[in-house]
A and B are shown apart, each in its own frame.
Chain A
Amino acid sequence: MVSPSHNAPGLSKNMAASGRHAGHYINKNSRSLLNHLDKLLGQRGFALSSVLRQQTATLQNDSTEAIVIPRKKTWGKEAVLEALASTVNRDPTAYHYQFQDDPYLSPRTSAESKLYSMSQESGRAAAKYFVDMYPKYFTKDFAEPHIPCLMPASVALSLEEVSEEALKERIGLRKVGAAVEMYDQLVQAGTPISKQMTYDLLDLICFYGDREPAQEGEPEADQTEASAEELRRKRGRFHRASDTLRGVWRENNNAERLFRLLPEREARCYSAVIRGMVKHGAFAKAFDMYTDMLNNRLTADVDIFNALILAVPEMREAYTEKVDFITDLLNQMSQQKVQPNLQTFNNVLKVLRRCGALAKSISLQTLSEMKALGIAPSLASFNHLLAIFYKGGSAADYPTDILQELLSEIETTSFTCQDPEDVWFFSSAMKICLETKDMKLGYKVQSLVGVGDNWRLLGDSYQQGMFYYRFFSLLCLMEHVDVVLKWYHQLMPSLYYPNPQGMRDLLQALDTESRLELLPSIWKDVKTLGHDNKSDLVEELLSLMAREKHSPEVQESFADCALDIKAAFDVDRRKPSLEWSPLALGHVTTLLLRAGRIPQAWEMMQLFKSKNRIPSEALLEDFLSQCSGAPTTAVELVKLSAAFCLPATPQLAQRVLLEFDLTEDQRTTLSELESSWDHNE
Chain B
Amino acid sequence: MAAHTTKICLSLGRINGPGFGQYASLNRATYATALSTSNFTGNKGGPDRGGRGAFVRRPRREPGEPRTEKMDSQQDWSAVYPSAASFRPGSVPLPVRMGYPVKGGVPSEKRGNLELIKIPNFLHLTPAAIKKHCEALKPFCTEWPAGLDSDGDLDKHLPIQIETTDYVSAGPSVRNPAARVVTLRVRLSSLNLDEHAREKMLKLLGDRYCKDTDILTITTDSCPLKQQNTDYAMYLLTVLYHEAWKTEAWESEMTRADRREYIWEDSASQQNVLDTLARMGVGEGEAPPREVLLARPEVQQYRDSVTRLKNEGESEGATLRYREAVKKLLSL
Contact = CB atoms under 8 A, between A and B. Distances in A.
A30 B164 contact: no
Contacts of B120: 11, 15
Contact of B192 (A37, A89, A94): A37
Contacts of B70: 93, 489
B19 interface: no
B103 interface: no
Residue from A2, A30, A48 having most chain B Cβ neighbours under 10 A? A30
Interface stretch (B74-82, B205-213, B320-328): B74-82
Contact of A142 (B86, B154, B173): B173
Contacts of B41: 571-574, 577
Interface stretch (A69-77, A318-326, A337-345): A69-77
A22 interface: yes
Contact of B64 (A63, A69, A106, A144): A106
A84 B130 CA distance: 10
Nearest to B86: A15
A104 B63 CA distance: 4
Contacts of B42: 572-574
Given A30-B158, A71-B142, A528-B64, A91 B80 contact: yes
A368 B64 CA distance: 54
A658 interface: no
A84 B173 CA distance: 22
Interface residues of B, number: 71
Interface string A126-149: 000000000000000011110100
B64 A12 contact: no
Contacts of B175: 144
A21 B64 contact: no
Nearest to B70: A93
4 shortest A-B CB distances, which residue pairs?
A: A574-B42, A16-B169, A144-B173, A104-B63
Nearest to A143: B172
B79 A91 contact: yes
B58 interface: yes
B4 interface: no
A62 B90 contact: no
B170 interface: yes
Contact of B168 (A17, A92, A571): A17
A13 interface: yes
Contact of A30 (B44, B143, B145, B157): B157
A27 B41 CA distance: 82
B65 A9 contact: no
Given A25-B158, A59-B156, A70-B142, A83 B136 contact: yes
Contacts of B71: 93
Given A24-B154, A102-B90, A29 B160 contact: yes
B119 to A, nearest CB: 10
Interface in B87-123: 88, 90-91, 120
Contacts, number: 180
A18 B192 contact: no
Interface residues of A, number: 77
A551 to B, nearest CB: 24
A9 B147 CA distance: 33
12 contacts: A8-B165, A13-B169, A17-B84, A21-B165, A23-B163, A84-B137, A85-B82, A89-B79, A93-B70, A93-B80, A143-B173, A144-B175
A189 to B, nearest CB: 47
B31 to A, nearest CB: 17
B287 interface: no
A62 B156 contact: yes
A73 B178 contact: no
Contact of B63 (A22, A67, A83, A103): A103
A145 B175 CA distance: 8
A103 B67 contact: yes
Given A144-B173, A145-B174, A1 B67 contact: no
A23 B166 CA distance: 13
Contact of B140 (A80, A86, A88, A91): A80
Contacts of B84: 15, 17
Given A16-B167, A21-B165, A143-B172, A102 B88 contact: yes
B245 interface: yes
A101 interface: yes
**Chain A contact residues: over half helix, strand or loop, or mixed?**
loop
B146 interface: yes
**Chain B contact residues: over half helix, strand or loop, or mixed?**
loop
A543 to B, nearest CB: 26
Interface string B34-72: 000001011110000000000000110101111100110
A88 B82 contact: yes
B176 interface: yes
Contacts of B164: 21, 23
B157 A63 contact: yes
Contacts of A37: 192
A14 interface: yes
Interface of B: 39, 41-44, 58-59, 61, 63-67, 70-71, 75-76, 78-80, 82, 84, 86, 88, 90-91, 120, 125, 129-130, 132-133, 135-137, 139-143, 145-148, 154, 156-176, 178, 192, 194, 234, 245
A142 B125 CA distance: 30
B145 A14 contact: no
A103 B136 contact: no
B157 A27 contact: yes
Given A24-B154, A91-B79, 10 more contacts: A15-B84, A18-B165, A30-B157, A66-B147, A67-B157, A85-B82, A102-B90, A103-B65, A572-B41, A574-B59
Contact of B147 (A20, A65, A90, A93): A65
A68 interface: yes
B172 A79 contact: no
Given A66-B147, A91-B80, A14 B161 contact: no
Interface in A364-399: none
Contacts of A20: 163, 165
Contacts of B64: 103-104, 106, 108, 528
B191 to A, nearest CB: 8
Contacts of B245: 40
A143 B136 CA distance: 29
B180 to A, nearest CB: 13
Contact of B136 (A23, A27, A87): A87
B95 to A, nearest CB: 16
Contacts of A23: 161-164
Contacts of A93: 67, 70-71, 75, 80
Contacts of A1: 125, 133
Given A19-B166, A37-B192, A574-B59, A68 B178 contact: no
A37 B191 CA distance: 10
Contact of A55 (B91, B143, B178, B192): B192
B169 A62 contact: no
A629 interface: no
Residue from A13, A70, A85, A103 having most chain B Cβ neighbours under 10 A? A103
B146 A15 contact: no
Contacts of A554: none
A37 B159 CA distance: 15
Contacts of B67: 93-94, 101, 103
A572 B194 CA distance: 97
A69 B156 contact: no
Contacts of B170: 14-16
B80 to A, nearest CB: 5
B142 to A, nearest CB: 4
A87 to B, nearest CB: 4
A70 B143 contact: yes
A571 B44 CA distance: 11
Given A91-B76, A93-B70, A67 B148 contact: yes
B188 to A, nearest CB: 13
A66 B76 CA distance: 45
Contact of A9 (B63, B161, B165): B165
Residue from A11, A25, A40, A87 having most chain B Cβ neighbours under 10 A? A87
Nearest to A102: B90
